[in-house]
Amino acid sequence: MRTRISRLAWIAVISVIPTMSRAQDFKLFSRDFQIHGFGSQGFVYTSQNNWLTMNTSQGSGAFTDFGLNASMVITDKFRFGAQLYDRDIGQIGKWHPEADWAYLDYRFEDWMGVRAGIVKTTLGLYNDTQDLDFVHTWAILPQSIYPLDLRSSTISHAGVDIYGRIRPGRKLGKFHYTIYGGERRQDPYGGFVLGLASVGLTLHAYGGWVEGQDLRWETPVDGLLVGASLMNQHITGHGELTGSSAGITFLSGLLSLPIGSQEREHSNKDDYYQYYLQYTWRALRFEAEYRREFRNEWVGYYLPGSTDLAVTFNAVSDSRSWYGSAAYRISKRLEVGSYFSWFIANWPVDKSLPTNHVYDRAVTARFDLTSHWFMKLEGHFMDGYGAFDSIRGFYGQQNPNGLLPATNALVARTGFSF
Q: Report 205-234 residues binding another protein (CB under 8 A).
A: 222-223
Q: Report 53-112 residues binding another protein (CB under 8 A).
A: 67, 69, 71, 73, 76, 79, 81-83, 101, 103, 105, 107, 110
Is 36 a binding residue for another protein by CB under 8 A? The answer is: yes
Q: Report 149-208 residues binding another protein (CB under 8 A).
A: 165, 167, 170
3 state SS of 349: coil
Three-state SS for 293-332 is EEEEEEEEEECCCCCCEEEEEEEEEEEEEEEEEEEEEEEC
Is 27 a binding residue for another protein by CB under 8 A? The answer is: no
Nearest residue (CB) to another protein, 173 versus 379 = 173
127 neighbors 147 (Cβ within 8 angstroms):
no
Region binding another protein by CB under 8 A among candidate stretches 91-99, 123-131, 232-240, 315-323: 123-131
339 neighbors 362 (Cβ within 8 angstroms):
yes
DSSP sequence for 151-214: HHHHSEEEEEEEEEEE---TTS-EEEEEEEEEEEPP-TTSHHHHHHHTTTEEEEEEEEEEEEEE
- Binding residue count for another protein, defined by CB under 8 A: 44
Is 267 a binding residue for another protein by CB under 8 A? The answer is: no
Nearest residue (CB) to another protein, 65 versus 389 = 65
Contact mark string toward another protein, 302..341, x via CB under 8 A: ---------------------------x--x--x------
Among candidates 300, 296, 299, which has minimal Cα distance to 317?
A: 296
Is 34 a binding residue for another protein by CB under 8 A? The answer is: yes
| 250 phi and psi angles, rounded to 5 deg | -55, -50
Tell the smallest beta-carbon distance from residue 226 to another protein (Å). Answer: 17
Tell the smallest beta-carbon distance from residue 271 to another protein (Å). Answer: 24
Instruction: Report how far residue 48's alpha carbon sits from residue 39's, in angstroms, rounded to the nearest whole number.
Output: 28
3 state SS of 234: strand
Rounded to the nearest 5 degrees, what angle is found at the Cα of 73, between the Cα atoms of 176 and 37? 85
Helix or strand (DSSP H, E) at 284: strand 284-302
Tell the smallest beta-carbon distance from residue 396 to another protein (Å). Answer: 34
Residue numbers of the site for another protein (CB under 8 A)?
Answer: 23, 25, 32, 34, 36, 38, 67, 69, 71, 73, 76, 79, 81-83, 101, 103, 105, 107, 110, 115, 119-120, 128-129, 131-132, 134-136, 165, 167, 170, 222-223, 280, 282-283, 329, 332, 335, 368, 371, 417
